[in-house]
Amino acid sequence: MNKAELVASMAEKSGLTKKDAEAALNAFMKSVEEALVREDKVQLVGFGTFDVRERKARQGRNPRNPEQVIEIPASKAPVFKAGKALKDMVNA
């Protein structure tokens, strides 16, 4: 499902116009992005949690030259962990 299909589905289920549904989806995504930039956790009970995880610096190998060891810097990565209710629905 791409963004346009999601907007259409949201509009159908909520009774909103596609334009209003897209505005709501964009506002949701922007709010989650801003929270993650502040390193806040976004918890939607029953659905899941958006969070930021720290990745430590580490050494890796250059795939084109396996003898060459490269330093991979520390970084932050956004992650989503599905909630129990969502997992149960997917596995039903």
Candidates 43, 70, 67; CA nearest to 59 is 70
Confidence of residue 52 (pLDDT cuts 50, 70, 90): very high
Confidence of residue 84 (pLDDT cuts 50, 70, 90): very high
In angstroms, the Cα distances linking 82 to 14, 16, 31, 56, 64 are 23, 27, 19, 24, 36
Average pLDDT on 4-31 reads: 96
Tokens of 10: 């949201």
Residue 17 phi, psi (nearest 5):
-75, 160
Average pLDDT on 51-69 reads: 94
**Amino acid 73: pLDDT:** 96
